[in-house]
Structure 1
Amino acid sequence: MKKRLILFFVMLLAITVHAQEADSIALLSPVEFKTQIERGSVQLIDVRTPEEFQEGHIVGALNIDFYSEDFEKKFHKLDKEQPVYLYCRSGYRSNQSAIKLKEMGFKDVYDLEGGILNYNQED
């Protein structure tokens, strides 16, 4: 019985920690995202493929392909103390990237709600 109770609390703790990581990722509407990236120098990252990036991207964005083998290595070159703004096509890859960045120790991570498809509809 004690072992089950301990296992239960360990699982509960793991779920709570994961939820807190996800909660510390700010999901921004296209208007909020645009306003914040226009305020000054930010680490703006497009996590789509290079082909998608070439089809059109937000001015000033750096392309770090979510599917590339050196994804994490490229992010290690960025400043973990400075805010990072992420986007992809529709929001899935940027959300997964945001979770990875939080695990890597990045402090402030912002994700564009609905991706560039949603962002472009606001223009």
Structure 2
Amino acid sequence: MKNILLIALFMLCISCNAQEHKDIQIIDIQTLKTTVIGKDVQLVDVRSEKEYNQGHIDDAININIADQETFKKEIQKLDKTKPIYIYCHAGVRSRRASKIMTALGFTNIYDFKGGWSAWNRQ
């Protein structure tokens, strides 16, 4: 029980840190549907290639966060001045990716809360 409480507290702290950063906006599935789907936007799936190949949101490109050096190299090929939408399976990896992207100079990051898990349930 104590471990579960510690994990929950840790997840809450991570979530709050992402929401406090002015360059990172947390968005829900409805916002994703209305502002991303069918539009010409930068949509990045930060899960593994295997996860991506098992299913992903249409038009998303895959840049795996697991290898941070490769992630940094590949993510910088995108336009830092345009909005960028990211997601993972449930939100932990996309939060980590958001923080890295902020450090790299991205200023308009939208992190899809719930990620592929939420999208796949709809």
Normalising by structure 1, what TM-score?
Answer: 0.78
How far apart are the structure 1 equivalents of 2:96 and 2:35? 21
1:49 aligns with 2:48: yes
What is the distance in 2 between the residues matched to 1:76 and 1:48?
17
Instruction: Map residues 1-123 of structure 1 onto 2, 5 A cutoff.
Output: 22-38=21-37, 40-68=39-67, 69-121=69-121, 123=122
Runs of 4+ in structure 1 off by over 6 angstroms are 18-21
Distance 2:115 2:100 in 1: 17
Give the residue type in structure 1 aligned to 2:83.
P
- Please list every run of 5 or more consecutive structure 1 residues that lacks an aligned counterpart in the other structure: 1-17
Contact 1:86/1:112 (<8 A) preserved: yes
Q: Which residue of 2 aligns with 1:4?
A: none
Structure 2 Cα separation of the partners of residues 88 and 43 of structure 1: 15
CA RMSD of aligned residues (A): 1.8
The answer to whether the Cα contact below 8 Å between 2:19 and 2:25 also exists between their aligned partners in 1 is no
Measured in 1, the distance between the counterparts of 2:95 and 2:34 equals: 20
The answer to whether the 8 A contact 2:37-2:58 is kept is: no
Offset at 1:24?
2.8
8 Å CA contact retained: 2:18, 2:95: no
**Larger-Rg structure:** 1
Identity of aligned pairs, percent?
A: 38
Q: How far apart are the structure 1 equivalents of 2:18 and 2:58?
A: 32
- Number of residues of Structure 1 aligned to a counterpart in Structure 2: 105
Q: TM-score, normalised by structure 2?
A: 0.79
